[in-house]
Amino acid sequence: MNLGRRGGQRSKMSTVEKFTHTLHEYERSQSSKEIYRCIHPDCHHYKRREFLLGKRAQCFKCKSPFILTRLQLKNFHPVCEYCTKSPKAKENLVAKELAERLVMSEELIKTLGLVE
Ligand SMILES: [Zn+2]
Ligand SMILES: [Zn+2]
């Protein structure tokens, strides 16, 4: 298996303004399940799914960087692990924190003897 084609890379440098960013936000191609493209309006980056495995990308939902896994690459819009688990993960976290705070204050109230 010879996949190494290093050195022979031709870069298409356009005379138009160069736009570069390292974190791409991917969307699966409409025409091929194997191709993902960056959705940034100024970025023309796209890659085959197999080459994206293990690469860092930007989460479609929370916009934070994450590593693409096989699981993410089944989605039309790959999202980070956090967003995969639950679309409401953030809300849940807030709710959890609130609940913890509530429990804490309840205990505080109890210890202070404000509740029978
Ligand atoms: Zn991009
Ligand atoms: Zn995310």
For 27, phi and psi rounded to 5 degrees? Answer: -140, 140
Query: How far apart are the C-alpha atoms of 61 and 83, rounded to whole Å?
Result: 7
How much distance in Å is there from the Cα of 84 to the middle of ligand 2?
A: 7
- At 88 the pLDDT is 58
Q: Is residue 102 part of a domain?
A: yes
The answer on 93 and 81 residing in a single domain is: no
- At 2 the pLDDT is 54
On whether the CB atoms of residues 83 and 69 are closer than 8 A, the answer is no
Q: Is residue 37 part of a domain?
A: yes
The answer on 57 and 69 residing in a single domain is: yes
On whether the CB atoms of residues 47 and 53 are closer than 8 A, the answer is no
For 56, phi and psi rounded to 5 degrees? Answer: -85, 135
The answer on 93 and 67 residing in a single domain is: no
Host domain of residue 92: 86-116
Q: What is the CA radius of gyration of the chain?
A: 22
Domains of the chain: total: 2
Tell me which ligand sits closest to the C-alpha of residue 57.
Answer: 1
In tens digits, what is the pLDDT along the chain, a chain of 116 residues?
555 555 445 555 555 567 789 899 999 999 999 999 999 999 999 999 999 999 999 999 999 999 999 989 999 999 998 888 765 556 666 777 777 787 777 777 788 887 66
How much distance in Å is there from the Cα of 38 to the middle of ligand 1?
A: 4
How much distance in Å is there from the Cα of 17 to the middle of ligand 1?
A: 14
How much distance in Å is there from the Cα of 25 to the middle of ligand 1?
A: 6
Handedness of CA 43, 49, 51, 68 (dihedral sign): positive
How much distance in Å is there from the Cα of 98 to the middle of ligand 1?
A: 37
Write the Ramachandran bin of 48: left for phi over 0, alpha for psi from -120 to 50, otherwise beta: beta
How much distance in Å is there from the Cα of 66 to the middle of ligand 2?
A: 8
Q: Is residue 12 part of a domain?
A: no
The answer on 59 and 27 residing in a single domain is: yes
